[in-house]
Structure 1
């Protein structure tokens, strides 16, 4: 049984995205900042499968929720 706490890096892996720090930084730079009224799971750059995963994790307060919340915060940061 895997008891590893999901991280931002493993979330990117789960979403099928490159998960090294440079790739994460580039993703956030390319897609952020999101408008205040846009939930991370509703952003238009996700595939339907990615959107469903993100939405489900937040609604269920599942194990991935903290990593999704971290991504949400990063994508809403203004520089």
Structure 2
């Protein structure tokens, strides 16, 4: 059975963050780039609850994992790295 892919807006809502497109773009621009060795859930800008949610979803390999991985890539990778 295929896992559902949630859009960023749903993940940001789960994290208690503004979830409109402009706010998501602003969040990524503000916090980019994370150091290469830093795990997404260890970033200093998360609240303890947000960090815990990201960690648990990753460990559970939950249906949020694809979206969490996409956010991780967006915060670690430049357009040059992806060829975009």
TM-score by length of structure 1 reads 0.89
1:26-68 C-alpha deviation (Å, 9 max, x unpaired): 0000001101100110000000000000011111100111111
Flag as ranges the 4+ runs of structure 1 deviating above 3 A.
none
Q: Counterpart of 2:6? A: 6
Q: Counterpart of 2:82? A: none
TM-score by length of structure 2 reads 0.84
Alpha-carbon deviation of 1:5? 3.9
Please say which structure displays the higher CA radius of gyration.
2
Alpha-carbon deviation of 1:6? 1.9
Q: Counterpart of 1:57? A: 57
Q: CA-atom RMSD, angstroms? A: 1.6
Q: Structure 2: where are the runs of 5+ without partners? A: 80-84
| Equivalent residues, number | 77
Q: Structure 1: where are the runs of 5+ without partners? A: none
